C-alpha cells in the first residue's frame, strides 16, 4: 500500500468504510446481516404489497446472469422455452388429488373480474403442472410427438405467512421445466439430467457446493413419484434447498389425459417430469459467500466483475480518466463486465467501501503515481489482498484473477461445508451436534416417516436428502470428521437402514 504514495486516501477509505457499511455483523445476528446486505447492496426492497419484494436493478442483473447460464444449459440439452397462462381454473387444479392437497393452503384466488363475480374461481399459478399438462394432452397424440421438452421462465404466487427477500416471498420468479416422455426410463433419465445441470450450475457459476440426492416421501413434491434436490449449506450452518427435479411418473398424465399411441399401436399414458430453480438462488449466493463488509459475488454472476476507481489528483480528468476509459474498453472487448466509477461527488475511499459492500470481485485503483509506474493497483474482494499489476498484459492478469476468485470462493465454501458436516453414530450424538454448531449431520435412517418426524420435532433438523450411493457419498471420504457410522442402522430407532441421509436445520 505504501508504495502507492496515496496513503492518505487509503486512510480515509478505512474511516469511510465504517460510515458507509451499516451492516450488522454476521456473528451478532445472521438474519439481520442478511436483510442489511439485501437492502444496502440494493438487491431488493420491500413494497407496499405484503410479502412481495421489488427486485432492484443490481439484484435483477444477477438474476439475468443466472437465467443466461441456465438457459444455455437447458437449450444445449434440447429444451425450448414457451409461455403458459398465469391463471388456472379451479376445476383443473382439483384434478390431481395429492397436488391439490399439497398446494391448497398456499393458493391465491381471483374471484372477480371487472365488476362481475366469476362463475369459476381462478387460481394464480403456484406452479404450472396443471395448465401445462392440460395443453400437453392436446399436443401429444403419438409416440412421434415425444419427448416434449419445454421450459417456462415465469412468476408464481404462493401465499406465505413469513417471508424473507429472495428466500421466501409470496410472488417469486423462477423457471419451471415440464417434459413428457414415452417411457418411464426416459423420464427418469431426464429427471437426473436436470439435477446434474442444477448441480453443475450451482457449483460452477454460483461457486456454491451442493449435495444432490433424493427427497424422502414426506418432503417430496405434491403429486410426484420421486423428488430429487440439491442442498447447499449457508454461512450460518443452515441448509438451503436450491433446486428440485421431480419424476412425476404417470400421475399427472393420468389426471390430465396426456395419452399417445405407442409404437405398438396401444394407447398409453405419457411419463412426465418437472423441475425448477428460483430467485432463491440469489439468497443462496448472498449467504454462501458474504462477510461482515457485505456481499461477495462470484465473478460469473457479478453484474460488474471489476470496478475501476480513478484517484482524483491533479489534472486527473485529462490524464488518469482517459487511461481508465481505455482499460475499461479493452476489458469489455474481452467480455469482462466493468464499471468505471468516475463520479466526482464521492471520494475513492467511499467508493471502495461501497463496491466492497456490493460484492464486486475485483477493484482497480488508478492514479497519477500508477500512471508514472505504468501499473495499477488491484484489490480482491474475497481475500482483500492487494497487488500492483503492470499495464502490460493487464487484461490477461485480470481474466486470470477472476477465474482464481471464482475457484477460491468455491473452495472456501466447500471447506466450510466439510467443517460443518458431521457423521453421527447415535441419536444422543445427533442431538448434541444440532444443539451446538449447526450444519449437516449424516446419519443412518430406516426410511420411516415416523423417525423422520420425531427427529424434526426434537431437533428441528429436517431430512434434506439421501445422496446417491449414500454409503460412499461425499463427506464419507474421511473429510467429514466425527463419529463412526454404524453401518445399516437408523440413528433414531436402530432398525436396519439402507443408507445414510443428510439432515440439517433449513431455510
Short-list 232, 295, 302, CA closest to 34: 295
Query: In this complex, which beta carbon is closest to Zn ion, that of residue 102 or of residue 447?
Result: 447
Strand, coil or helix: 479: coil
Contact 289, 296 (CB under 8 A): yes
Query: In this complex, which beta carbon is closest to Zn ion, that of residue 179 or of residue 462?
Result: 462
Containing H/E element for 46? Answer: strand 44-46
Q: How far is the CB of 464 from Zn ion (least distance, A)?
A: 17
**Stretch 186-205: interaction string toward Zn ion, x if CB under 5 A:** --------------------
Q: How far is the CB of 213 from Zn ion (least distance, A)?
A: 18
Number of chain positions touching Zn ion (CB under 5 A): 6
Q: How far is the CB of 227 from Zn ion (least distance, A)?
A: 20
Q: How far is the CB of 489 from Zn ion (least distance, A)?
A: 9
Query: In this complex, which beta carbon is closest to Zn ion, that of residue 127 or of residue 489?
Result: 489
Contact 120, 91 (CB under 8 A): yes
Instruction: Report the C-alpha gap between 132 and 285 in whole angstroms.
Output: 31
**Stretch 37-76: interaction string toward Zn ion, x if CB under 5 A:** ----------------------------------------
258 binds Zn ion (CB under 5 A): no
Q: How far is the CB of 472 from Zn ion (least distance, A)?
A: 21
Of 84-92, 200-208, 407-415, 492-500, the window that binds Zn ion (rule: CB under 5 A) is 492-500
492 binds Zn ion (CB under 5 A): yes
Query: In this complex, which beta carbon is closest to Zn ion, that of residue 57 or of residue 496?
Result: 496
Containing H/E element for 50? Answer: none
Contact 158, 276 (CB under 8 A): no
Query: In this complex, which beta carbon is closest to Zn ion, that of residue 347 or of residue 448?
Result: 448
Q: How far is the CB of 495 from Zn ion (least distance, A)?
A: 5
Give the sign of the dihedral formed by CA 423, CA 426, CA 429, CA 430: positive
Contacts of 265 (CB under 8 A, 6+ apart): none
Query: In this complex, which beta carbon is closest to Zn ion, that of residue 211 or of residue 490?
Result: 490
Of 10-18, 185-193, 427-435, 493-501, the window that binds Zn ion (rule: CB under 5 A) is 493-501
Please give the DSSP secondary-structure letter assigned to residue 361: S
Q: What value, to the nearest 5°, has the Cα angle with vertex 417 and ends 414 and 284?
A: 80
Of 5-13, 118-126, 316-324, 490-498, the window that binds Zn ion (rule: CB under 5 A) is 490-498
Containing H/E element for 226? Answer: strand 226-233
Query: In this complex, which beta carbon is closest to Zn ion, that of residue 419 or of residue 454?
Result: 454
**Stretch 136-155: interaction string toward Zn ion, x if CB under 5 A:** --------------------
Query: In this complex, which beta carbon is closest to Zn ion, that of residue 35 or of residue 493?
Result: 493
Of 334-342, 361-369, 374-382, 488-496, the window that binds Zn ion (rule: CB under 5 A) is 488-496
Contact 151, 80 (CB under 8 A): yes
Query: In this complex, which beta carbon is closest to Zn ion, that of residue 434 or of residue 446?
Result: 446
Contact 190, 270 (CB under 8 A): no
Contact 351, 14 (CB under 8 A): no
Which residue is associated with the grid cell 460510515?
Answer: 19
User: In the set 86, 408, 493, 506, which binds Zn ion (CB under 5 A)?
Assistant: 493
Q: Hey, which residues does 260 pair with through a beta bridge?
A: 268
Of 189-197, 214-222, 231-239, 487-495, the window that binds Zn ion (rule: CB under 5 A) is 487-495
Contact 248, 225 (CB under 8 A): yes
Q: How far is the CB of 499 from Zn ion (least distance, A)?
A: 13
Short-list 466, 397, 118, CA closest to 475: 466
Of 16-24, 320-328, 406-414, 485-493, the window that binds Zn ion (rule: CB under 5 A) is 485-493
Give the sign of the dihedral formed by CA 306, CA 311, CA 315, CA 317: positive
Please give the DSSP secondary-structure letter assigned to residue 496: B
Instruction: Report the C-alpha gap between 215 and 502 in whole angstroms.
Output: 10
Instruction: Report the C-alpha gap between 476 and 484 in whole angstroms.
Output: 10
Q: Within 434-453, which residues bind Zn ion (CB under 5 A)?
A: 446, 448, 451
Q: How far is the CB of 481 from Zn ion (least distance, A)?
A: 24
Beta strands 53-55 and 44-46 are antiparallel
Q: How far is the CB of 476 from Zn ion (least distance, A)?
A: 20
Q: How far is the CB of 445 from Zn ion (least distance, A)?
A: 6
Omega prior to 147 cis, within 30 of 0 = yes
Query: In this complex, which beta carbon is closest to Zn ion, that of residue 399 or of residue 493?
Result: 493
Short-list 141, 392, 171, CA closest to 268: 141
Phi, psi dihedral angles at 175 (to 5 degrees)? -120, 145
Q: How far is the CB of 432 from Zn ion (least distance, A)?
A: 19
Q: How far is the CB of 382 from Zn ion (least distance, A)?
A: 42
Q: How far is the CB of 148 from Zn ion (least distance, A)?
A: 40
Query: In this complex, which beta carbon is closest to Zn ion, that of residue 210 or of residue 490?
Result: 490
388 binds Zn ion (CB under 5 A): no
176: which 3 cell numbers? 419451471
Query: In this complex, which beta carbon is closest to Zn ion, that of residue 17 or of residue 493?
Result: 493
Please give the DSSP secondary-structure letter assigned to residue 71: H
Query: In this complex, which beta carbon is closest to Zn ion, that of residue 94 or of residue 493?
Result: 493
Short-list 506, 493, 480, 504, CA closest to 444: 493
User: In the set 258, 394, 490, 501, which binds Zn ion (CB under 5 A)?
Assistant: 490
Q: Which residues bind Zn ion (CB under 5 A)?
A: 446, 448, 451, 490, 492-493
Amino acid at each position: 500500500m505504501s508504495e502507492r504514495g496515496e496513503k492518505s486516501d487509503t486512510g480515509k477509505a478505512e474511516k469511510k468504510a465504517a460510515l458507509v457499511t451499516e451492516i450488522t455483523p454476521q456473528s451478532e445476528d445472521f438474519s439481520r446481516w442478511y436483510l442489511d446486505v439485501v437492502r444496502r447492496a440494493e438487491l431488493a426492497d420491500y413494497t407496499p404489497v405484503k410479502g412481495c419484494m421489488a427486485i432492484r436493478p443490481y439484484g435483477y442483473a444477477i438474476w439475468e446472469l443466472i437465467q443466461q447460464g441456465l438457459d444455455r444449459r437447458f437449450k444445449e440439452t434440447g429444451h425450448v422455452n414457451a409461455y403458459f397462462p398465469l391463471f388456472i381454473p379451479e376445476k383443473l387444479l382439483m384434478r390431481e388429488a395429492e397436488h391439490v392437497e399439497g398446494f391448497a393452503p398456499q393458493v391465491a384466488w381471483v374471484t372477480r373480474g371487472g365488476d362481475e363475480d366469476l362463475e369459476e374461481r381462478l387460481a394464480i399459478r403456484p406452479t404450472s403442472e396443471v395448465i401445462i399438462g392440460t395443453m400437453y394432452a392436446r399436443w401429444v397424440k403419438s409416440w412421434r410427438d415425444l419427448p416434449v421438452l419445454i421450459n417456462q421462465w415465469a412468476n408464481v404466487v404462493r401465499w406465505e405467512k413469513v417471508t424473507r427477500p429472495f428466500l421466501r416471498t409470496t410472488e417469486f420468479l423462477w423457471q419451471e421445466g415440464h417434459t413428457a416422455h414415452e417411457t418411464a426410463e426416459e423420464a427418469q433419465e431426464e429427471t437426473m439430467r436436470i439435477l446434474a445441470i442444477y448441480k453443475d450450475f450451482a457449483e460452477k457459476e454460483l461457486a456454491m457446493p451442493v449435495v444432490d440426492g433424493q427427497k424422502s416421501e414426506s418432503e417430496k413434491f405434491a403429486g410426484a413419484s420421486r423428488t430429487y434436490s440439491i442442498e447447499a449449506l449457508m454461512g450460518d450452518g443452515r441448509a438451503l434447498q436450491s433446486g428440485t427435479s421431480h419424476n412425476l411418473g404417470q400421475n399427472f398424465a393420468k389426471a390430465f389425459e396426456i395419452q399417445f399411441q405407442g409404437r405398438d399401436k396401444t394407447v398409453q399414458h405419457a411419463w412426465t417430469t418437472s423441475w425448477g430453480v428460483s430467485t432463491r438462488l440469489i439468497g443462496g449466493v448472498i449467504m454462501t459467500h458474504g462477510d461482515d463488509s457485505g456481499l461477495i459475488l462470484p465473478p460469473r454472476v457479478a453484474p460488474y466483475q471489476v470496478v475501476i476507481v480513478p484517484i482524483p489528483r491533479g489534472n486527473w480528468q485529462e490524464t488518469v480518466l482517459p487511461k481508465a476509459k481505455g482499460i475499461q474498453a479493452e476489458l469489455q472487448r474481452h467480455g469482462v463486465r466493468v464499471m468505471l466509477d468516475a463520479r466526482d461527488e464521492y471520494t475513492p475511499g467511499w467508493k471502495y467501501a461501497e463496491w466492497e459492500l456490493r460484492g464486486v470481485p475485483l477493484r482497480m485503483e488508478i492514479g497519477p503515481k500508477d500512471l508514472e509506474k505504468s501499473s495499477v493497483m488491484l484489490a480482491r474482494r474475497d481475500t482483500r489482498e492487494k497487488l500492483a499489476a503492470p499495464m502490460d498484459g493487464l487484461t490477461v492478469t485480470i481474466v486470470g484473477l477472476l477465474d482464481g476468485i471464482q475457484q477460491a470462493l468455491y473452495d472456501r465454501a466447500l471447506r466450510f461445508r466439510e467443517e460443518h458436516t458431521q457423521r453421527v453414530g447415535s441419536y444422543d450424538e445427533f442431538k448434541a451436534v444440532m444443539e451446538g454448531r449447526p450444519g449437516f449431520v449424516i446419519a443412518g435412517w430406516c426410511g420411516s416417516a415416523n423417525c423422520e418426524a420425531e427427529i424434526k420435532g426434537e431437533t428441528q433438523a429436517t431430512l434434506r436428502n439421501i445422496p446417491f450411493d449414500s454409503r460412499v457419498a461425499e463427506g464419507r471420504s474421511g473429510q467429514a470428521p466425527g463419529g463412526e457410522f454404524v453401518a445399516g442402522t437408523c440413528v433414531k430407532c436402530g432398525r436396519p437402514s439402507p443408507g445414510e441421509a443428510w439432515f440439517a436445520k433449513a431455510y
